[in-house]
Structure 1
Amino acid sequence: MDFTRLHDCLAADHDPLRAVVDTGLDAPVPTCPGWTVADLTRHVGEMYAHKTAAVRESVEPEPWPPEEFAEEEPRALLDRNVHGIARRVRRPCPRDPAAAWYGPDQTVGLWIGRTAQETVVHRIDAELAAGQPVAPVPDDLAVDGIDELPKAFVACSVAEWGDCFTGVPAGAPGATFLVRTDAAA
């Protein structure tokens, strides 16, 4: 997906996510068992801060998250860090270096894509927690996320950390899934 389009998707999904946060931090998040909206809000704020640091410093910050984040009110953490990621990823070229867990792509472009995907997923989590209708995901962002799953998460993770996955195939049910990306389906 185009770098500018990913940035636009991030901005478009952050605003409704932020609006839902104000409806109740104590609400449980049905798609994140054990989490409340406060936990979800903190997670997204920490994610934005992490990606900002990875781009700014070209090193993934360790340890993560910083201890002081635990003391910060979740909405304030989210608000402070969305502005940081928005500024940080807008300035550099998508091909500029940035530290990342994904070996084949150590660029700013990877992080804007990951941030846009996390934001849309957690916007949906927040809408479900608030009992609100789930806004649609733009087709191009959905396809980008579907494409990312086998390429980045499955292939890279198995190649990098194969020992962690040795038991997965043995317990897999052998199901096949069809993913359709056309709006007429």
Structure 2
Amino acid sequence: MSGTPLIDHDRLLDVLEHEGTRLASAAAGADHDRPVPGCPGLTLGETARHVGSVYRTVVAWIRSGDRPTSWQRQPDDGQSVEDYVRDGLRSLLGELATHDPAEGCATWHPQQQHYGFWRRRMAHESTVHRIDVQAAGGQDITEVDPEVAVDGVDEVLHLWFTHRLAVLGVAGTRSGTVAVRTADRVWLATLGPRSTSARRVTAAEAESADAVVTADPTELYLWLWGRRAVFDRAVTLDGDLDVSAQLWALLRLATR
């Protein structure tokens, strides 16, 4: 399965800017102690601070050429969390916008050592956590563009299910395959005691899967990120339910 995005890199940079800005706005004036639905133990304020910290981590990573050991992890004295997010976002956008997506730079994926990796990764980091902040604050959830959500499904299956679980040394307890379907796209996730992987396939290639997970792009995106319950009504599970539930549970481990 390729790590090539399903939308262009300029669009991803726009998504990063818009979603980071929305996240900061959602945090402004909200009760930062409110819990984030779907993420036990995480609060609205902690989520916003996390994103502001990640923006700075990425800039430090790019500039140092290696995993950073120090960066500004908390707002300055007197600085609001929303301004901490905005300042970090501004710095990250400036760094990414001045480099071609294909230009090489340090990342945490050995096969994707380029600026395009960070454009995609930070666009979806911002989108998922913007939804977390809005949900925690009891606000209206801004719709995710379907094309962005489909790309997010592709990213979570490639980056987290295929790559991250391997790095963690985590695999399934039983073997099986799951066809993951939304819009006009299909992926085949393979899981078992030895490894996990997912790839883009045709509908015909997915016909023999043990289970099928289907939803509209945004609901599937959020389900794979664990922001929906495993048996949420917005997601249709067919075939072997134990295999589908294992896919969901493994992704919870990968993305937490």
Q: Given the two structures, how large is their TM-score scaled by the length of structure 1?
A: 0.83
Query: Offset of 1:116 from its aligned partner?
Result: 0.4
Q: Relative contact order (C-alpha < 8 Å, sep 6+): which is higher?
A: 1
Equivalent in 13, 22, 38 of residue 45 of structure 2? 38
The farther-off stretch of 68-77 and 41-50 is: 68-77
Q: Equivalents in 1 of 2:19, 2:113: separation in Å?
A: 25
Query: Offset of 1:91 from its aligned partner?
Result: 0.4
The structure with the larger Rg is: 2
Query: Offset of 1:141 from its aligned partner?
Result: 1.1
Q: Equivalents in 2 of 1:71, 1:20: separation in Å?
A: 17
The farther-off stretch of 36-45 and 52-61 is: 52-61
Amino acid at match of 1:13: E
Greater helix proportion: 1
Q: Which residue of 2 aligns with 1:50?
A: 57
Given that 2:20 and 2:85 are in contact with CA atoms closer than 8 Å, whether structure 1 keeps it comes out as no
Structure 2: state its 5+ residue gaps: 1-6, 176-190, 192-209, 219-233, 235-256
Q: Which residue of 2 aligns with 1:169?
A: 173
Q: CA RMSD in A?
A: 2.5
Structure 1: state its 5+ residue gaps: none
SS of 2:40's partner is coil
Q: Which residue of 1 aligns with 2:73?
A: 69
Q: 1:103-142, CA deviations, whole angstroms, 9 ceiling, x for partnerless residues? A: 1111110001000001010110011011112111011211
Q: 1:3-57, CA deviations, whole angstroms, 9 ceiling, x for partnerless residues? A: 1100111111122211110132222222322122210111000110111122223
Q: Given the two structures, how large is their TM-score scaled by the length of structure 2?
A: 0.62
Q: 1:4 to 1:28 in 2, by over 3 A?
A: same
Greater strand proportion: 2
Q: Equivalents in 1 of 2:156, 2:83: separation in Å?
A: 31
Given that 1:55 and 1:89 are in contact with CA atoms closer than 8 Å, whether structure 2 keeps it comes out as no
Q: Which residue of 2 aligns with 1:178?
A: 214
Amino acid at match of 1:130: G
SS of 1:177's partner is strand
Q: 1:71 to 1:135 in 2, by over 3 A?
A: closer
Give the total of aligned pairs: 176
Given that 2:26 and 2:133 are in contact with CA atoms closer than 8 Å, whether structure 1 keeps it comes out as yes
Q: Equivalents in 2 of 1:52, 1:85: separation in Å?
A: 6
Q: 1:109 to 1:22 in 2, by over 3 A?
A: same
